[in-house]
Amino acid sequence: MPALCLCFEVHEPYQLRRYTVFDMGQNSLYEDDDRNCETLLRAARLCYLPANELMLRLIRRHKGAFCLALSISGTALDLFEQYAPEVLDSFKALAATGCVEFLGETSAHSLAFLYSRQEFERQVRAQAARLQSLFGAKPVSFKHTECIYNNDLAAALPRLGFKTVLAEGADHLLGWRSPNCLYRPAGAPRMRLLLRNAGLSADMGRRFGDRSWNDWPLTADKFATWCRGLADTAQVVTLCNDYHLLGLRFSKDTGVFDFMEALPKAILADSNFRWSTPAAASAALQPVGEVDAPQFLSWEEEGRDLTSWLGNDMQKDAIHALYSLTPRVRRCADADLTRDFERLQTADHFACMSTKWFAHPATDRPNPFASPYDAYITYMNVLADFEMRLDAADRARAAKTRAARRAAAADAPPAVPETGKRRRKETRTRIAKPRAASAAPEQA
Could you list the active site residues?
Answer: 146
Of the CA atoms within 13 Å of residue 345, those in its CB half-sphere come to 29
Contact 74, 109 (CB under 8 A): yes
**122-129 contacts, C-beta under 8 A, 24 or more apart:** 123/74, 123/342, 124/160, 125/160, 126/74, 127/74, 128/104, 128/160, 128/161
Distance CA 142, CA 409 (A): 52
Contact 75, 340 (CB under 8 A): no
The candidate with the shortest Cα–Cα distance to 30, out of 381, 382, 354, 309, is: 382
Antiparallel, parallel or unpaired: β 192-196 and 182-185: antiparallel
The candidate with the shortest Cα–Cα distance to 280, out of 132, 387, 84, 141, is: 141
The three-state DSSP-derived secondary structure of 147-206 is HCECHHHHHHCHHHCCCEEEEECCHHHHCCCCCCCEEEECCCCCCEEEEECHHHHHHHHC
